[in-house]
């Protein structure tokens, strides 16, 4: 079996044996944003494509062609795969924290820190990414150092709120990868940020 993804998030719910004759059921579900990719189910006897939400096929063996795709509907797919769905990890949370200047968070961004802590606790997360960014004012070297300091400042605040330091990875992009593309030496508040991902 091989997959083709339109975007990065796609659930492929697989392998269910049922009845006396063991069969494998493959069903395609959209990601939490409703986007759907596609999956090709292949064996020695042939191939079928699943490319619509809650489409499914089944296979009885390597010499039996996968069945023609049929729409099972959301309720049936979630019922069949309830156990597998119940143990999926929570979806990652993404937070944008903005800075007034240097390493001072805006008041609105400072108010997001409790929400980040809640997301970490809900996921029992040991994988937190903190990435610093700047606008394009100043040299590449200055902005690299500043984005490092911003990421470190957010990490320090999270650690101060009880997050284990070893669970937080900090990186920085300086003035590269702006959220809002600008010319060089342009002050853009939305680019003065730290991005926090909680997995």
The SS3 assignment for 62 reads coil
- Which pLDDT score is estimated for 51? 93
- Which pLDDT score is estimated for 61? 81
Alpha carbon distances (Å) from 31 to 8, 34, 111:
9, 5, 29
- Which pLDDT score is estimated for 145? 98
- The list of the chain residues with pLDDT below 70 reads 1-21
- Which pLDDT score is estimated for 35? 86
CA atoms within 13 A on the CB side of 147: 29
Of 65, 50, 70, nearest to 10 by C-alpha is 50
H or E element that contains 98: strand 93-101
Gap between the Cα atoms of 74 and 54, Å rounded: 6
Gap between the Cα atoms of 33 and 35, Å rounded: 6
Q: How remote is the C-alpha of 32 from its chain's centroid?
A: 10
- Which pLDDT score is estimated for 21? 60
Q: What is the pTM of this model?
A: 0.68
Q: Which domains does the chain have, with CATH numbers?
A: 2-86 (no CATH), 93-198 (3.30.1330.60)
Q: What is the DSSP letter of 127?
A: -
């Amino acid at each position: 079996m091989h997959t083709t993804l339109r975007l990065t998030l796609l659930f492929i719910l697989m392998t269910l044996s049922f009845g006396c004759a063991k069969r494998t059921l493959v069903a395609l579900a959209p990601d939490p944003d409703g986007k759907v990719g596609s999956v090709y189910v292949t064996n020695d006897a042939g191939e079928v494509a699943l490319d619509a939400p809650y489409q499914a096929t089944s296979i009885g063996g390597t010499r039996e062609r996968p069945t023609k795709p049929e729409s099972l509907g959301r309720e049936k797919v979630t019922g069949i795969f309830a156990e597998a769905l119940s143990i999926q990890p929570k979806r990652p949370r993404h937070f944008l924290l903005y800075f007034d200047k240097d390493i001072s968070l805006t008041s609105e961004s400072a108010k997001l820190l409790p929400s980040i802590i809640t997301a970490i606790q809900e996921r029992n997360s040991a994988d937190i990414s903190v990435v610093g960014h700047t606008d394009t004012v100043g040299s590449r070297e200055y902005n690299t150092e500043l984005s490092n300091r911003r990421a470190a400042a957010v990490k320090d605040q999270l650690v101060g709120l009880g997050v284990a330091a070893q669970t937080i990875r900090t990186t920085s992009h300086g003035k590269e990868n702006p959220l809002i593309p600008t010319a060089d030496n342009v002050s853009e508040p939305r680019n003065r940020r730290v991005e926090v991902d909680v997995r």
